[in-house]
Amino acid sequence: MKNDNPLLQIFNTPYQTPPFRSIKESDYLPAFKAAIDQGKNEVQQIIAIKSSPDFYNTIEALEKAGKQLHIISDIFFNLNHAETNENIQNIAREVSPILTEYSNDIWLNEGLFTKVKIVYDNRSVENLTAEQNKLLEDTYKSFVRKGALLSGDAKKRYREITTKLSELSLTFGENVLAETNSYKLHITEENELKGLPEGVMDAAAELAKTENKEGWVFSLQFPSYFPFMKYAGNRELRKKMYLAYSKRCNNNNDKDNKEIVKQIVNLRVEKAKLLGYTSHADFVLEEHMALTPQKVNAFLEELLTASIDYAKNDVKEVEEFAKENGLNDQLQRWDYMYYSEKLKEQKFGLDDEATRPYFELDKVEKGVLGLATKLYGLNFKINTSIETYNDEVKVYEVFDEDGSFLSVFYMDMHPRASKQGGAWMTSFRDQYTEDGQEVRPHISIVCNFTRPTGKKPSLLTFNEVQTFLHEFGHALHGMLSKVTYQSLSGTNVYRDFVELPSQIMENWSTQKEWLKDVGVHYETGEMIPEEMIQQLIDSDNYQSGYAMVRQLSFGLNDMAWHSLNTPFDGDMIEFERKAMAPTELFPLVDGTCLSTAFSHIFDGGYSSGYYGYKWAEVLDADAFDAFLENGIFDKATASKFRTEILEKGGTQHPMELYKNFRGKEASIEPLLKRSGLIK
């Protein structure tokens, strides 16, 4: 009988993009099971080969095994983040342990590891390219780091731990999404909206309409929550929203994540010990630029020492301003953003909402894509015949300067109940080379930007413009990849290096030439005024000490959880507060907890790696100095950044790549200088 499951066919679509309209939810589970069987057969064929193991019949063959499973997984799990529902989540819960078992069957297979080890031990005689050597080293290390040297009960326990961890992280993420979606602040009295800009009120009125309610509805989704905290004059309502957001998954209900965090942390400790490491952080950081927890903690401490006094002064300045403007109580966390924004207006004559009309999403999009044209010669062409998973998703074909095809590029820009919060880049297919032919990637960015309303198009805050640039930087890393092996392509690099291509793009947001290109009033067509541009540039370092310390607090929280070398059975809130105490700038608030909704480290790839945002900021500030020295649109500098970093993926150690681009290791000074933390 012919199998008509579209996920198991060669996609007869432009560039073999996913045929979303043909895929039914009922197709996923059978497709996963069939692809797993196929992957197992491909691995078994490698083991069964009688000839001596070599790079091609073992390492390269293993790299290619499970290709169909990879395709199906990318489609399904991207949808589970961006277009999920209860059925998709149920499938994810069912399939995750099966995928973990499949993965373990490969990494823990003694016969297969024996072959890999023979190739690894004889690597000096194989005459391999640098990229082949890197793939061989990575493959061997992956086997060792995933339990290949374990035996007996230890191997069995490793399987149990990895299966349980995959289930727990899924549940953690589902709980955060559910708690984010469940809270709504419904307001029916207009006088309670004092201070809120018209656009924010319009969006809240639209949300109320979709829920068949009178008045205005505010949610915990970023485009609703953030402006509410920044502009709402009603202090009690700000407090309500703050508590709802900061207590997510810490409400002692069926979506509570406290026990899940404990289980994840303790299983990670046990797994690290099984593999011969002191802690989960020691295990993870072996494959990061930082290498050790000691080096990460020293790095965080160095930045904290440089910024804590500035942060205290930032908070003191807002506190004094709040008192002068009628706050008769101690400044609380739900007050900070509100008074900080008002002080910013007073100091710089700048109101974020006043800049919003100049950043219409469509125009910003043209400016962001145009930046890639200026720097790298890329051209973007809309293709409406490529299928998408939601009608809101826009698709571009991306071409190089010489007209050759580079990538498919999806953009999904607005919040939905079916979508996780935040912003991220992902791929439906990574770049690689097969039989001498380049297979080009399918790259996607997913954001949660302010929606258009009946009265206005989608208008971005300056912060959202920077987020767009950030995720687009990740996208360029995926699109411009030029390697042989899929596991080394694009963003498959060390976690503390992956943020360099994204964060360097944010630097253009404070460059006059670029802002003039992007900032056009959506109604009048007037270019963003010179005075406003200068205000944006002048205010870029506003409260930068506070912003630095806030980020460091997340890194310290992450490192505290993952530096544990014995099981945790204490009070979670107390543990978190002790970890973050050196960065504390406000009175503590009962019931709030970062860890229970800290998806980056409990449902993402950033455990023991959150510091990487700051680590990469050191790199990006240093790297952007090259553009400042040579010109911010300098083709030669951009070309070098492309060929030495963006195209190389994980084919070399990141420090080698960075030094090839910059000619030296990065210094911390450009970051401190850019942040206004040294004169």
Phi first, then psi, for residue 43 (nearest 5°) are: -70, -40
What are the DSSP E strand ranges found in 288-422?
379-382, 394-399, 405-412
**Distance between alpha carbon 189 and the CA centroid of its chain, in Å?**
38
Domain positions in the chain: 6-149, 183-246
Average pLDDT over residues 123-141: 95
Q: CATH top-level class for 6-149?
A: mainly alpha
**What single string gives the DSSP state of each residue in 446-475?**
E--PPPP-SSS--B--HHHHHHHHHHHHHH
SS3 677: coil
CA atoms within 13 A on the CB side of 590: 0
Using DSSP bridges, classify how beta strands 394-399 and 379-382 pair: parallel, antiparallel or unpaired.
Answer: antiparallel
CA nearest to 229, candidates 329, 346, 322, 337 = 337
Q: What is the pLDDT of residues 257-300, one digit of tens each?
A: 999 999 999 999 999 999 999 999 999 999 999 999 999 999 99
Q: What is the pLDDT of residues 156-180, one digit of tens each?
A: 999 999 999 999 999 999 999 999 9
Q: CA-CA distance, 451 to 414, in Å (whole number)?
A: 6
Using the predicted structure, report yes or no on whether residue 679 has a pLDDT greater than 80.
no
Average pLDDT over residues 628-654: 97
SS3 63: helix
Dig out the tokens for 463 from the structure: 């912060």
Q: What percent of the chain has pLDDT over 70?
A: 100
**Distance between alpha carbon 457 and the CA centroid of its chain, in Å?**
26
pLDDT of residue 197: 92
Q: What is the pLDDT of residues 6-46, one digit of tens each?
A: 999 999 999 999 999 999 999 999 999 999 999 999 999 99
- Verify whether residue 190 is a known catalytic residue: no
**What single string gives the DSSP state of each residue in 65-127?**
TTHHHHHHHHHHHHHHHHS--HHHHHHHHHHHHHHHHHHHHHHT-HHHHHHHHHHHHTGGGS-
**What single string gives the DSSP state of each residue in 256-296?**
--HHHHHHHHHHHHHHHHHTT-SSHHHHHHTTSSS-SHHHH
Q: What is the pLDDT of residues 70-123, one digit of tens each?
A: 999 999 999 999 999 999 999 999 999 999 999 999 999 999 999 999 999 999
Q: Number of helices (H) and strands (E), helices first, in the chain?
A: 27, 9
Q: CA-CA distance, 669 to 136, in Å (whole number)?
A: 37
**Distance between alpha carbon 101 and the CA centroid of its chain, in Å?**
26
Contact 257, 597 (CB under 8 A): yes
Using the predicted structure, report yes or no on whether residue 1 has a pLDDT greater than 90.
no
Using the predicted structure, report yes or no on whether residue 652 has a pLDDT greater than 90.
yes
Placement of tokens 């009988």 in the chain: 1
SS3 564: coil
Average pLDDT of the chain, as a whole number: 96
Identified catalytic residue from 471, 506, 576, 647: 471
Which band of pLDDT confidence, cut at 50, 70 and 90, is reported for residue 678?
confident
Q: CA-CA distance, 618 to 141, in Å (whole number)?
A: 28
Residue 610's contacts (CB-CB under 8 Å, 6 or more residues apart) are 554, 555, 557, 558, 559, 600, 601
Q: What is the pLDDT of residues 474-524, one digit of tens each?
A: 999 999 999 999 999 999 999 999 999 999 999 999 999 999 999 999 999
Q: CA-CA distance, 423 to 378, in Å (whole number)?
A: 23
Alpha helices in 392-499 (DSSP H): 462-479
Dihedral sign for Cα 149, 153, 155, 161, please: negative
Which band of pLDDT confidence, cut at 50, 70 and 90, is reported for residue 350?
confident
Q: CA-CA distance, 258 to 232, in Å (whole number)?
A: 31
Using the predicted structure, report yes or no on whether residue 131 has a pLDDT greater than 60.
yes
Degrees (nearest 5) of the Cα angle 362, 368, 369? 90
SS3 650: coil
